[in-house]
Amino acid sequence: MKHVRTERAAAAIALAAISLAAMALPAISLPFARASGQACFATPTSMTPTSWKAPAPSPQKPPTPGFKLIREIPLPGPANRFDYQSFDPSTGRIYMNHMNAGRTVVFDADSDRVVAEIMDVPRATGVLAVPSHHQVYISAAGAHDVAIVDDRTLKIRKRVGGVRFPDGIAYAPNADKVFVSDESGGVDAVIDATTGAKRSTIDLGGEAGNTHYDSVSHCIIVAVQTRNQMVAIDPIAERVVQRYDLAGSEHPHGFTIDEPDRLAFISCEGNAALIVLDLRTMKAIQRLQVPDDPDVLAWDAARRRLYVSAESGVLSAFWLDGTTLKPAGEIRAAHAHTVSVDPRSHRVYLPLENINGHPVLRIYEPAG
């Protein structure tokens, strides 16, 4: 999530001394790190184990560029900003953070209706459904905490405090832990998924962008936006194990991962760039210009389509041909900066904060 520039500037100044010191310090193991699970694989030049074999890709024809609007659905609440979304394949629900309304909209993608709102999550930024625990984690940045919601009752059952600006969220099943980007705090906060207790904070040496788990390397990956780096965290040891400079980037924040093809797609807010990072070599293999202030990304693995939403009001679509992204259409709409995709139907969900004074959800299908 990209909050206002003044907050970022203040955080960057406060973290400058920390960043310089962290560059010279080795990562330190924590005494309470779990011994179970598979450790993170991250060398100075790769995040792909040599024993790993890629699945055979399904043949794909070049798509017809563009989108078809399926329907437009009114959303509850005031006409203000939305942020991250999380799709739960076990229930068909999409959790949409209505950030400046301080609530999370629960949308049923099978019936195309809003089924509930989760209240009392001020400035809701990141969100992640963890079906194995019947949990939904919501970053309530306005309260400096993370709300843990029971997905059966849609009630907050616990809050984890002490996180300055919680944002992106990832779950590491090999360690059974949740990792939360503390953007202005410059750390990843670690939460025990079983107990809901905060275990530790991992110093990143700069502002935390988004956070994701990679099931091939068994690592947590974090964008450190003020250092133009991607870092690998061992979720079992709870420590940074590698840092990778990201050539051609300015302020990388959002990203998503194509695990079978070993690619990461990274949006860079500072120079409106979309970078394709090869996780076999940790080298950037493609750099595209996208509309200003790219933020949230969504990846449809079966259709090999990437969606990049920008604060400037453009949703861009790309098709992955081999390891090369090719344009596949765009949608222009005010505040079109958050997107999700249903991997079953391949429909694209675009909540917009203000259409004639009300928030709406536009649902699209790829043209072909």
pLDDT tens digits, one per residue of 159-197: 999 999 999 999 999 999 999 999 999 999 999 999 999
Over the range 286-296, which residues count as b (16 or more CB within 10 Å of their CB) and which as e?
Answer: eebebbebbbb
> Phi first, then psi: what are they for 241, rounded to 5°?
-110, -25
Contact (Cβ atoms closer than 8 angstroms) between residue 350 and residue 331 = yes
Q: What is the pLDDT of residue 4?
A: 41
DSSP string over 55-90: PPPPP-PPPPPSEEEEEEEE-SS-S-----EEEETT
- The CATH number of residue 234's host domain is 2.130.10.10
Q: How far apart are CA 179 and CA 191, in angstroms?
A: 6
Side-chain half-sphere exposure of 295, counting CA atoms within 13 A? 25
- What does the pLDDT look like over 130-168, one tens digit per residue? 999 999 999 999 999 999 999 999 999 999 999 999 999
Q: Which residues contact 277 (CB under 8 A, 6 or more apart)?
A: 230, 246, 263, 264, 265, 266, 283, 284, 285
Q: What mean pLDDT value characterizes the chain?
A: 91
Q: What is the pLDDT of residue 37?
A: 75
Contact (Cβ atoms closer than 8 angstroms) between residue 105 and residue 76 = yes
- What does the pLDDT look like over 69-96, one tens digit per residue? 999 999 999 999 999 999 999 999 999 9
Q: Structure tokens of 365?
A: 């299908």
Q: What is the arrangement of strands in the sheet containing 113-118, beginning at the earlier edge strand?
A: 85-88, 93-98, 103-108, 113-118
- What does the pLDDT look like over 258-290, one tens digit per residue? 999 999 999 999 999 999 999 999 999 999 999
Q: Residue 60: pLDDT band by 50, 70, 90 thresholds? A: confident
From the list 146, 239, 247, 245, the residue with the least C-alpha distance to 198 is 146
Q: Residue 36: pLDDT band by 50, 70, 90 thresholds? A: low
Q: Residue 184 sits in which domain range? A: 5-366
Q: Structure tokens of 19?
A: 């960043």
> Phi first, then psi: what are they for 56, rounded to 5°?
-70, 130
- What does the pLDDT look like over 307-319, one tens digit per residue? 999 999 999 999 9
Contact (Cβ atoms closer than 8 angstroms) between residue 73 and residue 360 = yes
The tally of domains found in the chain comes to: 1
From the list 169, 172, 144, 171, the residue with the least C-alpha distance to 159 is 144
Count the neighbouring beta carbons within 10 Å of the beta carbon of residue 302.
Answer: 10
Q: Residue 295: pLDDT band by 50, 70, 90 thresholds? A: very high
